[in-house]
């Protein structure tokens, strides 16, 4: 599987401009590097697969889009969800890509990148051990990062179309090949009720914006999350920019409902754009 973006092909065009006969190139959005041969027609991988300059130039012009090159065919990584009537696409950055849902990025990318954004969320709960619940899988970055120290991570995804995008993302492959990660398809508001009381030492709750997933900001959800946490367990809740007008208003409501649900303490984590609640 070769996945390309403007960030990864522009160095190839620069190598051609410099009349180089070979160049190093990342076939997986920065995770690894391989050497390719440059010719008048295009580039050639050691496997023999060729990639023509007009196609490379086309990708370079498509800022932030990601493309899959498979069996000589190039396709934009973008899918439509028939269940929720919205488009999902992989959006490239200089680090790990994020996912757009109807044009809205699912990670912070201004002044940071999806990899650092994920790490900042995980750090709010450090040290992470035992069983962890990730309430919204997305591209799987949270589950992958948490699984580095947790005994097991259970991650819930509402829309299977999201996982179709994740399967095409090189940075998401740990979601599918790490035996410590268990995937669940369903609505977190309902699925969380299937777990026994005190099942998890930590919960990472990173829901879409309030307008897309209001139920996941409800007192009912927080009560269910409280129930499945162990005593002294912690919940990180991503909310959004606390300095924005809407972010400040939503944060105030979240803190109030978390306390009403039973959490004994809720602490602001502004660098991670969220709060940590303690049972």
Please give the pLDDT value at position 214: 85
Instruction: Tell me the per-residue pLDDT of 35-78, one tens digit each, with 9 for 90 and over.
Output: 999 999 999 988 888 889 999 999 999 999 999 988 778 899 99
Please tell me the predicted confidence (pLDDT) of residue 49. 81
Mean pLDDT score, 77-87 = 95
User: Is residue 13 scored above 90 in pLDDT?
Assistant: yes
Residue 173 has pLDDT above 80, yes or no: yes
206-240: burial string, b at 16+ Cβ within 10 Å, e else: bbbbbeebeebbeeebbbbbbbbbeeebbbbbbbb
Domain ranges for the chain, please list them.
2-76, 107-278
196-211: pLDDT as tens digits: 999 999 999 999 888 7
pLDDT digits (tens, 9 = 90+) for 108-125: 998 899 999 999 999 999
Structural element, H or E, at residue 83? none
pLDDT at residue 40 in the model: 94
pLDDT of amino acid 272: 95
**Average pLDDT of the chain, as a whole number:** 94
Question: Residue 223's pLDDT band (boundaries 50, 70, 90)?
Answer: very high
pLDDT of 209 reads: 82
| Per-residue model confidence (pLDDT) at position 72 | 74
The residues, any chain, with a CB within 8 Å of residue 191's CB and separated by 6 or more, are: 156, 184
Residue 111, Cβ density class (10 Å: 0-12 exposed, 13-18 middle, ≥19 buried): exposed
Q: Is the pLDDT of residue 239 over 80?
A: yes
Percent of the chain at pLDDT > 70 equals 100
- Range list of β-strands (E), the chain: 2-5, 22-25, 34-38, 42-44, 50-52, 66-70, 73-76, 78-81, 86-91, 98-101, 104-105, 131-134, 152-157, 181-185, 200-205, 229-238, 265-269, 274-278
Give yes or no for a cis peptide into 43 (omega within 30° of 0): no
Residue 28 C-alpha from the chain's centroid: 16
| Statement: residue 22 has pLDDT above 80 | yes
pTM of the model: 0.93
Closest CA to 269 of 223, 231, 235, 245: 235
What is 107-278's CATH number, 3.40.50.150, 3.90.380.10, 3.40.50.720, 3.40.50.970?
3.40.50.150
pLDDT of the residue at 213: 81
pLDDT of residue 249 exceeding 90: no
């Amino acid at each position: 599987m070769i996945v390309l973006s403007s960030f990864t092909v522009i160095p190839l065009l620069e190598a051609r401009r410099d009349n180089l006969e070979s160049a190093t190139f990342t076939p997986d959005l920065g995770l690894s590097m391989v050497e390719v041969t440059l010719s008048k027609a295009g580039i050639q991988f050691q496997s023999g697969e060729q990639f023509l300059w007009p196609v490379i130039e086309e990708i370079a012009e498509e800022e932030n889009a990601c493309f899959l090159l498979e069996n000589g065919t190039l396709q934009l990584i973008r899918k439509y969800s028939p269940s929720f009537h919205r488009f999902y696409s992989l959006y490239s950055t200089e680090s790990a890509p994020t996912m757009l849902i109807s044009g809205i990025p699912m990670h912070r990318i201004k002044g940071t990148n999806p990899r650092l954004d994920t790490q900042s969320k995980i750090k709010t709960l450090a040290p992470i051990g035992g069983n962890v619940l990730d309430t919204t899988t997305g591209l799987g970055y949270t589950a992958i990062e948490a699984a580095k120290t947790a005994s097991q991570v259970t991650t819930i995804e509402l829309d299977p179309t999201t996982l179709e995008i994740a399967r095409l993302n090189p940075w998401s492959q740990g979601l599918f090949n790490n035996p410590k990660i268990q995937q669940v398809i369903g609505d977190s508001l309902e699925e969380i009720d299937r777990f026994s009381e005190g099942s998890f030492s930590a919960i990472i709750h990173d829901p879409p914006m309030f307008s897309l997933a209001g139920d996941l900001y409800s007192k009912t959800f927080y009560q269910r999350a409280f129930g499945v946490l162990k005593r002294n367990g912690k919940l990180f809740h991503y909310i959004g920019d606390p300095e924005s007008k809407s972010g400040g208003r939503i944060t105030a409501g979240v803190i109030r409902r978390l306390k009403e649900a039973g959490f004994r303490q809720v602490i602001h984590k502004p660098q991670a754009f969220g709060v940590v609640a303690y049972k």
